[in-house]
A and B are shown apart, each in its own frame.
Chain A
Amino acid sequence: MITLTIDGKRVTVPKGTSLLDACRIAGADIPTLCHDPELSLAGSCRMCVVEVAGRRNLIASCVTPAEEGMQVETESEAVIEARRIILELLLARHKLECHVCERDGDCKLQDYCYRYGVKDSRFKGEEPHFYKEDPNPFIERDYDKCIMCTKCIRACAEITGAFAINLKNRGHNAVISTAFDLGLKDSTCVFCGQCIMVCPVGSLVSKVEKGRGRTYQTEKVRTVCTYCGTGCTLELKVLNDRVVGVNSIRDEKLSPANRGALCVKGRFGWDFIDSPERLKEPLVRKNGELMPVSWEEALDYTAKRLKEVKEKWGSDSIAVFTSARTTNEENYLLQKLARAVIGTNNIDHCARL
């Protein structure tokens, strides 16, 4: 264990604890843009800098191990000045359109500018020029809002393993890009949207959710994805009794199977809920046309036909194929029906949808 002093408070932490964690244990609220507990460290946003006695420079707390006897100040004059200037530098390259931004009210840049009273940037000059349309149905990439935290790159590589994006160019012209700067659909992107999950600003947003309600306007309903048997936890954003989006829940206790990670279906494939094409009642084909019928009629008809087929051709002429979208209990019952009632082992499952 090591003991250090943070903002005048003595704290004891296990050896190997990062200074950031130690500061948080001491109750200090350290701003971060590039840090994510599930991703490799970058140490690049420099928002988490703190002042350590005896050190010439400010120290990025996320990448610095806490050391015995350190005297740390988390909100000294120099620290606040550095954070303000960094925010102003980011604002100067940021397309400021909070009034129409999906992430208004859920944006770290906004939060930190509010916290440090950064209204405007003294470094305004060349405007942001990084926007490039990406024609794909799911992910909007507006790099005019990008703050270059590179969390999307790391999430893509380290959570999903798709390696679809990385940096190109240098200095101020550095920008997130696919190989050869192709659209995402021509890259190795699998449209899982983990990049959207980790983006701290409005640079990466879901095209499916766009304009349908901001996070603070919506009611949140935690649920389990119905697409397959993995059991990913997700959070539905509900507005006026309609599902308008999906959030990740990254807390391992609440989201044990996936810790927020989703696939293209879970993150983007929820628009069927209110689709006019959705089946809501049983249909039976009568005179070549599908007609809505009552459940009783539909079940009677199905039972009658199954019986006829079984009598004429035998049990094994029937096969039952069930779905990943039904529950385990329902699948169990269906195989019971197949084996015990129909009398066949011809039962299978789509496993994943």
Chain B
Amino acid sequence: MNGEKRILLEYADKINPEKAEDYIKVGGYKGLEKARKMKPKQIIEEVKKSKLRGRGGAGFSTGMKWSFVPEHAPVKYVVCNLDEGEPGTYKDRIICEKNAQALLEGMAICALAIGAKKGYIYCRGEYPHIVRLLNNAIESAKKAGVLEDFDIEVRMGAGAYVCGEETALIESIEGKRGEPRFKPPFPGVEGLWGVPTVVNNVETFACIPYILTHGAEWFASIGAPDYPGTKVLTLTGDINNPTYFEVPTDYLLSDVIYKLGGGIKGGRKLKAVQVGGSSGAFIPPENIHTSIDFDSMSRIGASLGSGAVFVLDETRDIVDVATRIAKFFEHESCGKCNPCREGTFRMYEMMQRINAGRGSEEDLENILVLSRVMQKASLCGLGQAAPIPIETTIKHFREDYMRKLM
């Protein structure tokens, strides 16, 4: 077919995601059953062996993350990051809508591995229907008895992008202002309410049941060797099929655009593609013959991030797009650290000037200096990543900027 490989989304639209029985019929909760017969350390070893890496964007080894949790802490938490605020990203929503029970199972397995009795799902404020869906799914799983004494509570965000950052998310669950904490201590040691906490993305948790059911070797053999498994991608922009796909991680970005995506709308040429959401790098057409896995993307100065693929055709004004992205980050900066709070604000000012034809070469140079400092000195990923789309568009499309200068 088109090269998709569906694991998480194999039964999309064929089962009711709210019903535990539907999921059980297609092999669900077998991973959890298996995990119950294993020692916590064995579960973590299995996840490590699978080489699963975080699907939220940072690409950190999931098994490693779990292993940081101190064994003897009396209380621990499992937290699922469903804040999905990265523009153009909707894969976590899709996973919930199609296979919510896999998420619950993944969290329950994590709870066994680290010794937690309580889990939280932090759902973005714009997804009220997902909150309802998840609450029904949890109720159904409880009724089926599969979760045993593991309790899951759904918490709703209030629309702040920064709450997708794991420590800001924790602050928000605690009822505080959504601001990132400094690290260390990492949540694995001191997280929610000051106790050891594993925070993983929806997609990461949803991979876990399949790893336990089919074995780590099976998972590690799929896709790119250092970032194995599948990745759910969401396509947006000037593309013929703006929808979601699940592909093995060694899938080529060019195939995402031209095979799955059906090519550029109106048969136009590709101007650039941004992978990983608004904080991702813009990739010029000459670099798209690259595998989408984390490390391959890094090698071309990009990041897989959340797996959003935003396609721009040749008619698009890239400076205007970058200016809008700058506006987004100016709006979403929480204001805690100096480089991000003032940097995103001044960045947007300078981008507006350039975009309106009132900018100078000096502005462009100032943007690059500011960009460098923000990436190196900001407190959290928001400020560190905010200048990347601007910097990469200047790098790859400098002539577009030069044309707009005074």
Q: A residues touching B (Cβ–Cβ < 8 Å)?
A: 41-47, 49, 56-58, 60, 63-65, 78, 81-82, 85-86, 89-90, 92-93, 122-123, 125-126, 147-148, 166-167, 169-174
Contact = CB atoms under 8 A, between A and B. Distances in A.
Which 9 pairs, one residue from A and one from B, show the smallest C-beta to C-beta distance? A174-B335, A89-B342, A172-B345, A43-B182, A171-B333, A123-B346, A63-B182, A125-B349, A85-B373
Nearest to B346: A123
Given A44-B337, A89-B342, A170-B333, 9 more contacts: A44-B338, A44-B379, A46-B338, A60-B379, A92-B346, A125-B350, A171-B331, A171-B333, A171-B345
Contacts of B362: 122
Nearest to A62: B182
A148 B338 contact: yes
Given A57-B376, A82-B373, A46 B337 contact: yes
30 contacts: A42-B182, A45-B337, A46-B337, A46-B379, A56-B376, A57-B384, A58-B377, A64-B184, A81-B372, A82-B377, A85-B369, A85-B373, A86-B338, A86-B377, A90-B338, A92-B342, A123-B349, A123-B350, A123-B370, A126-B345, A126-B349, A148-B338, A166-B177, A170-B331, A171-B334, A171-B341, A172-B333, A172-B342, A172-B344, A173-B335
A170 B331 CA distance: 8
A65 B331 CA distance: 32
Interface string B317-345: 00000000000001111111111011111
Nearest to A173: B335
Contacts of B335: 148, 167, 169-174
Contacts of B377: 46, 49, 57-58, 82, 85-86
Contacts of A85: 339, 343, 369-370, 373, 377
Contacts of B182: 41-43, 60, 63
Contacts of A63: 182
B334 A170 contact: yes
Nearest to B374: A85
Given A167-B177, A171-B330, A172-B330, A86 B346 contact: no
A90 B342 contact: yes
A79 to B, nearest CB: 9
Contacts of B378: 46
Contacts of B337: 43-46
Contacts of A125: 346, 349-350
Contacts of B332: 170-171
A90 B346 CA distance: 11
A49 B337 CA distance: 12
Contacts of B343: 85, 89
A46 B332 CA distance: 19
Which of A56, A89, A171 has the most chain B CB atoms inside 10 A of its CB?
A: A171
A78 B372 CA distance: 9
A22 to B, nearest CB: 15
B375 interface: yes
Interface string B180-217: 00101000000000000000000000000000000000
A147 B366 CA distance: 21
B199 to A, nearest CB: 19
Contacts of B80: none
A93 B338 CA distance: 11
B160 interface: yes
Contacts, number: 108
Interface of B: 160, 177, 182, 184, 330-339, 341-346, 349-350, 362, 366, 369-370, 372-373, 375-379, 384
Contacts of B336: 42, 44
Contacts of B349: 123, 125-126
B160 A81 contact: no
A23 B263 CA distance: 55
A64 B366 CA distance: 29
B180 to A, nearest CB: 9
Contact of A82 (B330, B342, B376): B376
Contacts of B338: 44-47, 86, 89-90, 147-148
Given A45-B338, A170-B334, A89 B346 contact: yes
B339 A65 contact: no
Contacts of A92: 342, 346
A58 B339 CA distance: 12
| Most chain A beta-carbon contacts within 10 A, residue among B346, B369, B375 | B346
Most chain B CB inside 10 Å of its own CB: which residue of A44, A57, A63, A147: A44
Contacts of B375: 57
Contact of B373 (A56, A86, A172): A86
A89 B369 CA distance: 12
B341 A172 contact: yes
B167 to A, nearest CB: 11
A120 to B, nearest CB: 13
A65 B362 CA distance: 39
Chain A CB within 10 Å, residue with most, of B339, B350, B369:
B339
A89 B160 CA distance: 24
Given A81-B373, A171-B341, A65 B184 contact: yes
Given A82-B339, A89-B343, A58 B376 contact: yes
Contacts of A49: 376-377
A166 B335 CA distance: 13
A90 B372 CA distance: 17
A123 to B, nearest CB: 4
A125 B336 CA distance: 21
A57 B377 CA distance: 7
Contacts of B376: 49, 56-58, 78, 82
